[in-house]
Amino acid sequence: MASWSWTARACSVSALCLLSWACRQQPPLPAYGVVPEFHLTAQTAQPFDSRSLQGKVWVVDFIFTNCPGPCPRMTSQMKQVQRATDIRLVSISIDPKRDTPEVLAAFAQKFHADLSRWVFLTGPRETIQHLSRNVFLLGDVDETLQHSTRFVLVDRKSRIRGFYETSGADSIPRLVADIKSLVKETN
């Protein structure tokens, strides 16, 4: 009887170890498309070339600085991502008429953005529309200033690997977990 008990416990322990390992092994994140090279203007008033993001994991969102709705929340959530990871962050203004580089710089300062890793961008409305709709698959941006509240996760090969609705309670923890997974990815 003692050997049965030992065998049963050994099997239970083995099953728990296997289950624990299986739970940690997540399938790779899907790829939704490749982000082509783009050029905008940074909060420093310097040209921004997306080639500076090649080989890095990064998150992008679309905001505007005088937003009375979700943009301050989204920027605070990006700040959480900044604290939890070492990746690059990109916030693109959908209101280029008002969000000049100087306005973006003040906005970045207000949210204590680490500008060595987080860039705030503006540029021609047509370019921003193209990026939002056709590249990041977030829909149209226009004069109504309504826009997607999703974050987009991009891998080292400029592939879109995830979308995160910022109004969801688990979206930021899930995003941070997926970022850590992508950082560990070698291919």
Burial of 81 per CB tally in 10 Å (0-12, 13-18, 19+): buried
Query: Which of 132-163 are b and which e, b meaning 16 or more Cβ less than 10 Å from the residue's Cβ?
Result: beebbebeebeeeeebbbbbbbbbbebbbbbb
SS3 29: coil
Q: What pLDDT, on the 0 to 100 scale, is given for residue 186?
A: 63
Q: What pLDDT, on the 0 to 100 scale, is given for residue 25?
A: 58
Low-confidence ranges of the chain (pLDDT < 50): 1, 4, 6-23
Q: What pLDDT, on the 0 to 100 scale, is given for residue 35?
A: 97
Containing 27, the helix (H) or strand (E) segment is none
Residues 187 and 95 sit within 8 Å (Cβ to Cβ):
no
31-184, CATH topology level: Glutaredoxin (3.40.30)
Q: What pLDDT, on the 0 to 100 scale, is given for residue 161?
A: 96
Q: In the chain, what are the domain boundaries? A: 31-184
